[in-house]
Amino acid sequence: MELYTTLEQQLKKEINFVTDNGELKKWVVLNKAQNFDEELIGLLLENEELKNKFFVNVKGTLVFNQNLFVQFLEQKNYLNDSYTQYKNKVGLTIDGKYLKQRNEVALVWPFKDCILEGGQSREEDKREEIFFNATLAQDEITQLLEPKVLTNAKRYTAKDEIILDKFNRNEEGIISDNLIIKGNNLLALHSLKEEFAGKVKLIYIDPPYNTGGDANIFSYNNTFNHSTWLTFMKNRLEVAKQFLRDDGFISIAIDHFELGYLIVLSDEIFGRENRLGIISIVNNPMGRNQAKYFSTINDFMLVYAKNQTQSNFNNVVLNEEFSKTFDKEDEIGKYKLNNFIRVGGGDENLRINKKTFWYPLYVKPDLSEITIEKNETYIEVLPITASGQERTWKLSKDSTKEILNDLIALKMGDKINILEKYRLEKGQKVPTIWSDKKYNANHNGIRLLEKIIKNKNPIKIHLEKDKDYYWCACGLSKDGTFCDGSHKTTNLVPIKFTVQEDKSYFLCGCKKTNKKPFCDGSHSKS
């Protein structure tokens, strides 16, 4: 057991391998091991005991023993030489590995690896779908997905439309125009891939629900059989993934008919660990009376991250009543005081069950300072409730170090309480049921996603000397930079400012800067 303890302590040095509760994300480590992750291997090599255990010296070169490491993590007692380990196991294997230990278990259905032409017009609704492999050789299919020339390009302005001669591009050379492309979406995606691969923050798609009914609003084939529909979706989701940035997201609208199939397919493509949530969108509260058994009132939206360890998923202010609870304000903004002891969660947040979140804080006798470093002249405070129950702090020791300025100490009787300044800009956790019509995918669903998934990086922009600017403080404006009136739904107001010289400045995109409106590096800590 000592070796596993050593391994656990070493792996917990990497924050992406640890849950919010301080537990090791074993599934993440296993995935990293199966892909010979450089970061993981580097951690193992840092410890002499682990290096000797999981690496083989081949003519002076250390070779990672992946099989031994994976087996070690999956043992019941985690020790390769444990007396409780079974000498023999019974189960299905591939190349000597049990299915549980492999990452290659895949979905299989007819024509899975084929290219399906999706019908895109009303005239094609009733025709049989064409699998290109039935009529074309593989090299012809490959050529089919090669980039295509986009024709009949036009630029639309408020007054007219003009023939497009060239695209507008930003400082990085990326097309900055808003594009509407008409055609087969699979071919369009492959044609745009070279330009936009790895550069898209958010993809929202509303594919055919495959309910077997008529497509009354959009002209697409809504009568696929399951195998055909899965092929159709697989081809498009795989190329969509290539468009996403490492911190990007994809949201997929669907109803109950193909929900289960789509979850399993999307888990395979994006990784189950990157599935952030399944949103239930109530778009017909009265229900559909034509239903045979249950009256359906909702659709669904699946949300995946390209890499959840790098994703910046923001909270939002969902309602005005919530904003009113933030009744205090300092130089940074509005906040309310919350107990820093984790009192909810039942027994899981007791000291005995969450030991890494049990540690002392030290408070200056006049309550003016809180530190995590031991100080003999300060008062030691532990996460113990008024009833004497030993619980835990809300954050780990390392995370608490970063927010000490937002902690305050209050004396109540003989006891010192530690309170946290919970700021309005942190918003609310987004619920998994959206019951207002404004969340309907046909109406305002995209706007909510824009609020949730916002660019948190600083925004470089050229400003003019002595000109009045109004910086968006709520984060709800269309471009996230300058106020457009969206703050009216919150208690926040825009910040008026000027600059002393004409030049480019970096404005805060995450809204957490202490030098408003200018970036101070807070985005890198969030």
Q: Which of 12-21, 192-201, 220-229, 418-427 has the lowest mean pLDDT?
A: 220-229
Predicted TM-score of the model (pTM)? 0.56
Report yes or no on 188 lying in a domain: no
pLDDT, mean of residues 229-234: 90
Does one domain contain both 357 and 226?
A: no
Q: Once rounded to an integer, what is the mean pLDDT over residues 116-130? A: 58
Q: Write out the two tokens for 261.
A: 């199939």
Residues 291 and 410 in one domain: no
Domains contained in the chain, number: 4
pLDDT for the residue numbered 86: 46
pLDDT band at 1 (very low <50, low <70, confident <90, very high): low
The verdict on 383 and 344 lying in the same domain is: yes
Per-residue pLDDT tens over the stretch 418-442: 999 988 777 777 888 888 666 665 5
pLDDT of residue 322: 77
Based on the domain organization, do 461 and 420 belong to the same domain?
no
- For residue 296, what are its two tokens? 């359906």
pLDDT digits (tens, 9 = 90+) for 10-25: 888 888 888 767 778 8
- In contact, 47 and 6? CB cutoff 8 Å: yes
12 and 120 fall within a common domain: no
Same domain, 142 and 291: yes
What does the pLDDT read at residue 173?
A: 86
Can you tell me which residue has the tokens 């012809």?
140
pLDDT reported for residue 517: 87
The answer to whether the CB of 98 falls within 8 A of the CB of 92 is yes
DSSP string, 363-386: E-TTSS-EESS--TTSEEE-SB-T
Q: What angle do CA 116, 118, 119 make, to 5 degrees?
A: 140
- Claim to verify: residue 37 and residue 139 sit in the same structural domain: no
Q: Where are the alpha helices (DSSP H) in 75-163?
A: 138-144
> Which range of residues forms the domain containing residue 384?
320-426
| Distances 201 to 244, 307, 400 between C-alpha atoms, Å | 6, 12, 30
pLDDT at 61 over 70: yes
> How far apart are the C-alpha atoms of 22 and 525, rounded to whole Å?
19
Q: If you search the block for the tokens 């010979």, which residue do you land on?
A: 36
User: Does residue 277 contact residue 309 with C-beta atoms inside 8 Å?
Assistant: no
Token duo for residue 473:
């403080």
Rg (CA), the chain: 28
On whether both 298 and 346 belong to a single domain, the answer is: no
Is 162 part of a structural domain of the chain? no
> CA 369, CA 381: separation in Å to the nearest integer?
13
pLDDT at 392: 93
Q: Which residues contact 178 (CB under 8 A, 6 or more apart)?
A: none
CA distance 189 to 207: 14
Tokens 């979406």, residue located? 185
Reduce the DSSP state of residue 503 to 3 states and report it: strand
Q: Measure the CA–CA gap between 27 and 412, rounded to whole angstroms.
A: 44
The answer to whether residue 448 is domain-embedded is no
How is residue 401 written in tokens?
A: 């170090």
What is the model's pLDDT at position 237?
96
CATH number at residue 223: 3.40.50.150
pLDDT in tens, 329-349: 888 888 899 999 988 777 888
- Asked if the structure places residue 445 within a domain, the reply is no
Residue 81 lies in a domain: yes
What value does the mean pLDDT of the chain take?
81
Total Cβ atoms within 10 A of residue 456: 19
Looking at the structure, tell me whether residues 38 and 92 fall in a common domain: yes
Confidence tier at 105 by pLDDT (50, 70, 90): low
Q: Compute the average pLDDT of residues 304-315.
A: 82
Cβ 378 vs Cβ 364: under 8 Å: yes
Of 176, 157, 154, 177, the residue nearest 165 (C-alpha): 154
b/e map 164-195, b = 16+ CB within 10 Å: eeeeeeeeeeeeeeeeeeeeebbbbbbbbbee
Co-location of 267 and 351 in the same domain: no
Residue 239 has pLDDT above 90, yes or no: yes
3-class SS at 315? coil
247, containing H or E segment: strand 244-254
Residues 365 and 466 in one domain: no
Q: Is residue 460 part of a domain?
A: yes
- Residue 187 tokens, joined: 């071919």
- Beta pairing class for 433-434 and 275-282: parallel
Instruction: Name, in order, each residue with C-beta under 8 angstroms of 2's C-beta and a sequence gap of 6 or more.
Output: none
Report, as an integer, the average pLDDT of 284-291.
Answer: 71
Compute the distance between CA of residue 365 and CA of residue 360 in angstroms, rounded to an integer: 15
Q: Are residues 301 and 338 in the same domain?
A: no
Q: Give percent above pLDDT 90 in the chain.
A: 25
- Please write the tens of the pLDDT for every residue from 374-415: 999 999 999 999 888 999 999 999 889 989 989 999 998 889
Q: Is residue 520 part of a domain?
A: yes
Closest CA to 472 of 520, 526, 428, 517: 517
233, two tokens:
């979706």
Q: Is 507 exposed, middle or buried (0-12, 13-18, 19+ CB in 10 A)?
A: buried
DSSP 482: B
Tokens found for residue 457: 């990086």
Whether residue 184 is contained in a domain is answered as no
pLDDT of the residue at 339: 93
The predicted structure's pLDDT at residue 162: 85
- Going by the DSSP 8-state scheme, the letter that residue 128 receives in this structure is P
Phi–psi pair at 385, nearest 5 degrees: -75, 170
**Burial 405-414, CB ≥16 within 10 A → b, else e:** ebbbbeeeee
3-state secondary structure labels for all residues of 394-441: CCCHHHHHHCHHHEEEEEECCEEEEEEEEEHHHCECCCCEECCHHHCC
Between CA 21 and CA 29, with CA 24 as vertex, the angle to 5 degrees is 140
